[in-house]
Amino acid sequence: MISPGDFFILFLILCSLGVVLSVFLPERRNPLLLAWISSIAAISVLWSSGNVLLYGLPFQIELWTLPFLGTMVLQMDRLSALFVFITGLVFLPVSIFSAEYMKKYFSRYNLKTFSVFYHLLFASIVLLLIANDIFSFLLTWEIMSILSYLLVNYEHEKDENTSSGYLMLAMSEAGTIMAAFAFLLLANGSGGLDFASLKSVSAGLGDSSRWAIFLLSFFGFSVKAGLVPNSIWLPKAHPAAPSNVSALLSGVILNLGIYGILRINADILPVTQIGMGLITLFVGTVSALVGILYATIRNDMKVMLAHSSIENMGIITAGIGAGFVFTVSGYPVLAGIAFITALYHMTNHSLYKALLFLGAGAVDSSVGDRNMDRLGGLMKVMPWTGLFFLIGALSIAALPPFNGFVSEWLTLQTMLQSAALQSKAVKIVFALCGAALALTAALAVTCFVKAFAMSFLGIARTKQAEKAIEVRRSMMIPMGVLAVSCLLFGILPTYIIPVLDHTITPLTQESVVDELVPPFFTVAKSDPKFSDAFVSEFHDLGAQTGRNVIPGRGLVVLHRGTERNPVVFAMSTSYTLVVLVLLLTGVFILIRVLTKARMVTRKPVWDGGVRRLMPEMTYTATGFSNPVRVIFEAIFRPSMLDERKETIAEHFRTAINNERKEVHIVDRSVFQPIVKWIQSMATLLGRMHSGSVNIYAAYVLISLVIVLIIQALL
């Protein structure tokens, strides 16, 4: 039997082969080469990580021993295997999509360079996730960050792209430094740099060291995850990057920040203070709410999706924070449910966000524009792209039976489990965060109704949108694969949750699969884990429906409480899909019967004297999101730079042109005050430069006296 390690070696060989062939093959053939090599590499890494994830097969490779640093080790446990599996799951369709998409850059930018960086990025991400020591982790993290910057800045001739890339790289480096300090504090006193050695000495760390490590690691890795207040680079990087790179950025690279947070604070040095969990929960909730507010008012498809990524990373982080709180409070089952919910949502986000970015790339390739105010009517000319984008929009808006519904519904239910906690203050925090997340879910529906309706429905608002054509099959098929994945991960949660349970059991020391997916198909009345009343009640409700047809535990996700309150929450997207299909089929048949039973006469409707609907008369994306702007004006705080009225047609139409400037709330509340303080301090220090040698000598003397006094006191 071929081991996971053999498939991993095959993956590295393929990535290396891709780099070499990219250099020597003609530039025109590079997109096709990238698609073939990266797709096969993705399949090999899916097979390797899948075996570890499902069956726990051992995977460890010792590299080399460095003086004073110890042995460098690559090891894939189930936590890293999940992240590697998601990486392969996204890279596979994105690589196929790139074969046709990258052709538009031919003769404009170097396709060989892109292919080389693409294969190296794939390899660095996988190596990062299986690095099992500080040196290997930080080395591959730095390589990944640089390669990400190079791909985001691929269209380097545009000044705004270059500045966006520099901002991304600078903030990434700042986060890396913070994470490196966290690792150094962990390594102090350990016998080696491998994660096992760090974990063995973590129990002896004091509270102050634990808090320092938590704050450094959480806020350091939150930069890569795009969490508030370290999220300002994300909406700037996405418009600059090619759409296939944007799909990787949101679907894979943001996950690395979540991995770093979990690896340190849930595995190597588990949190021991409720305050740590509350900080994580609060930052995640604020990120989710701020992200979706700005996503709702943005009209550039990629900028809107970038802010939406901040929202989804916030939801994931909020779930992790809830898990931290439950762990410290002594509720391992609830902690396990919270961690499963977070990882489930992370997986779902990778799928539907990759789909949406590929859809945005298809629209941009066909129309040459991403501004939703200038689109419209694309469903008539790009029906398959519109269908797949609709599925992605329904998934991210958390509508059943798609995957986003399952994980967001579980997230809200997890917030309600705070009733089990003792502290009233903590319960209040959970209640407020739960309400904010519920508002986030509602705004997400508004956001993606606008995104789909204003882009694909109605009439075309520009000639470019009117003349758009459907993209080629090599771009449609990857979107179709991701769309089907969104549906499967939505209707089969009872098969996904047990796999995620394998991942979090080492972190919580408690398997919770029976708590979320009771084995209704197999449980007997004599099972000690389930009371006879519980089994009988749910058998009577039809929990065993499909027992002789469907394999596994069943199709119901359910968390049971005490015997007095046996069900805390329950749902089944599988049965929901069946009901939806039956309802839609029934409505369709009924309409067909009614229309055949009576004569239908088609005549022109009265149109108020308007002979033809002009594009300027239609509802725009700006108009659709204007109520959100008005309601949350205290957050956006726009300033009017220019307001002009212009008569377009005499006596009839007047165009009102408003030019507004909005400063992001994070910039306004966090970074601008810091910049102003630094500028004021620089101004104050600048006054010290008098040009007099005597004054400078006095500065030296005063500094020396202060140092001597401090030394004497110490």
pLDDT at 523: 65
Where do the structural domains in the chain lie, given as residue ranges?
A: 1-180+214-260, 271-491, 618-661
Percentage of residues in the chain with pLDDT exceeding 70? 91
Other CB atoms within a 10 A radius of the CB of residue 458 amount to 19
Residues 323 and 326: their CA atoms lie apart, in Å, by 5
Q: Count the alpha carbons within 13 Å of 490 in the hemisphere toward its beta carbon.
A: 30
Tokens of 593: 């019967």
Q: Mean pLDDT over residues 20-48, rounded? A: 92
Sole residue written with tokens 């758009």: 468
The answer to whether the beta carbons of residues 450 and 625 sit under 8 Å apart is yes
Q: What element of type H or E holds 161?
A: helix 159-187
- What lies within 8 Å, CB to CB, of 365 at 6+ separation is 101, 104, 471, 475
pLDDT at 503: 93
Own/partner contacts of 26-32, CB < 8 Å, gap of 24 or more, are 27/106, 27/110, 27/111, 27/112, 28/106, 28/111, 30/102, 30/111, 30/112, 30/114, 30/115, 31/98, 31/99, 31/100, 31/101, 31/102, 31/103, 31/111, 31/115, 32/99
Q: What is the mean pLDDT of the chain?
A: 87
Question: Which is it for the CA torsion 256, 498, 348, 472, positive or negative?
Answer: positive
pLDDT at 641 over 60: no
Rounded to two decimals, the pTM is 0.91
pLDDT at 329: 92
Of the candidates 176, 491, 435, the residue with the CA atom closest to the CA atom of residue 318 = 435
Q: What element of type H or E holds 594?
A: helix 573-597
The answer to whether the beta carbons of residues 311 and 295 sit under 8 Å apart is yes
Q: What is the DSSP letter of 467?
A: T
Q: What is the CA radius of gyration of the chain?
A: 28
Percentage of residues in the chain with pLDDT exceeding 90? 54
Residues 355 and 481: their CA atoms lie apart, in Å, by 9
Of the candidates 281, 348, 327, 273, the residue with the CA atom closest to the CA atom of residue 512 = 327
Own/partner contacts of 153-162, CB < 8 Å, gap of 24 or more, are 153/240, 154/105, 154/109, 154/113, 154/114, 154/117, 154/241, 154/242, 154/245, 155/105, 155/109, 155/240, 155/242, 156/109, 157/109, 158/240, 160/240, 161/240
pLDDT at 163 over 60: yes
Q: How far is CA 372 from CA 37, 317, 448, in A?
A: 35, 30, 12
The answer to whether the beta carbons of residues 301 and 281 sit under 8 Å apart is no
Cis peptide before 493 (omega within 30 of 0): no
At 197, the pLDDT band (50, 70, 90 cuts) reads: confident
The answer to whether the beta carbons of residues 334 and 400 sit under 8 Å apart is no
CB-neighbour burial class of residue 157 (10 A; exposed 0-12, middle 13-18, buried 19+): exposed
- Over the stretch 311-341, which tens digit does the pLDDT of each residue have? 999 999 999 999 999 999 999 999 999 999 9
Q: Mean pLDDT over residues 585-595, rounded? A: 86
Q: Count the alpha carbons within 13 Å of 419 in the hemisphere toward its beta carbon.
A: 7
pLDDT at 652: 53
Of the candidates 581, 522, 520, the residue with the CA atom closest to the CA atom of residue 556 = 520
| DSSP result, 215-264 | HHHHHHHHHHHT-TTS-TTHHHHHHHS-HHHHHHIIIIIHHHHHHHHHII
Of the candidates 224, 285, 295, the residue with the CA atom closest to the CA atom of residue 254 = 224
Of the candidates 206, 217, 208, the residue with the CA atom closest to the CA atom of residue 181 = 217
pLDDT at 644: 62
Residues 316 and 307: their CA atoms lie apart, in Å, by 15
Tokens of 169: 């790289």
Name the amino acid, one letter, at 319: G
Residue 194's SS3 state is strand
At 653, the pLDDT band (50, 70, 90 cuts) reads: low
pLDDT at 505 over 60: yes
pLDDT at 132 over 80: yes
Q: 70-75 and 60-66 as β-strands: parallel, antiparallel, unpaired?
A: antiparallel
Q: What is the DSSP letter of 133?
A: B
pLDDT at 657: 63
Other CB atoms within a 10 A radius of the CB of residue 239 amount to 19
Tokens of 213: 């490590």
pLDDT at 600: 67
Per-range mean pLDDT, top range of 158-162, 232-236, 553-557: 232-236
User: Please, what is the angle between helix 403-416 and helix 473-491, to 10°?
Assistant: 40
Which has the higher per-residue pLDDT, 314 or 71?
314
pLDDT at 655: 62
At 561, the pLDDT band (50, 70, 90 cuts) reads: low
Residues 373 and 705: their CA atoms lie apart, in Å, by 66
- What lies within 8 Å, CB to CB, of 218 at 6+ separation is 261, 265, 276, 279, 280, 283
- Over the stretch 363-421, which tens digit does the pLDDT of each residue have? 999 998 899 989 988 999 999 999 999 999 999 999 989 999 999 999 999 998 888 88
Q: What element of type H or E holds 60?
A: strand 60-66
**In b/e form, how buried is each residue of 693-707, taking b as 16+ CB within 10 angstroms?**
eeeeeeeeeeeeeee
